[in-house]
Structure 1
């Protein structure tokens, strides 16, 4: 008997972006990262640092306040994170607009 397939649904539509932000782990200095696939509920970043699933991080775009998130997965120097509090859609739209300039 085979295992049932698990279907993972995204909680929000991802916006394909490529932009630079700062990511900080607890007790560490911020590092520059490249952000991809931003949504109101999370994001992906490229980093050469190993950041383990379950860790809390803070992502900061320019002068905006840092956003708390939890690392969900790490694979091939890319991490996927879920925001602790979803972004307001207007904030997401503003960040995406900045990335496309």
Structure 2
């Protein structure tokens, strides 16, 4: 593997590592929009730097692109990894920064500078 190959593949390697990273259980209202479809209201059940799990009554096929929108934030692009019995697991296209992750958790736990509305 050359240095160039490693740099090109750095996200793929990091994403694999972060699939096993700790995820925080949450209960965050959000909108999930699958590619080519209208968005729907959902609840994020867990959140990590590399992805999330949410309620999704409609079947979402693995490999499909989607966008997650949390209140007050821009949409985050992700890819469906799995769907099972009304839940979907997705991997973010770009890892969340630890600061963004911590701010989201603080906002919805109510222990940070943000307050739940």
When normalised by structure 2's length, the TM-score is 0.75
Shift of 1:80: 0.5
Partner of 1:64: 73
Does residue 94 in structure 1 map to residue 114 in structure 2?
no
Relative contact order, higher structure (CA 8 A, sep 6+): 1
Partner of 1:3: none
Rg larger in structure: 2
Higher helix proportion: 2
Mark the runs of 5 or more structure 2 residues left unpaired by the alignment: 1-15, 111-117
The TM-score with structure 1 as length reference comes to 0.86
**Following superposition, which runs of at least 4 residues in structure 1 exceed 6 angstroms of deviation?**
none
Provide structure 1 residue ranges, at least 5 long, that are not aligned to the other structure: 1-7
Query: What SS is found at the alignment partner of 2:47?
Result: coil
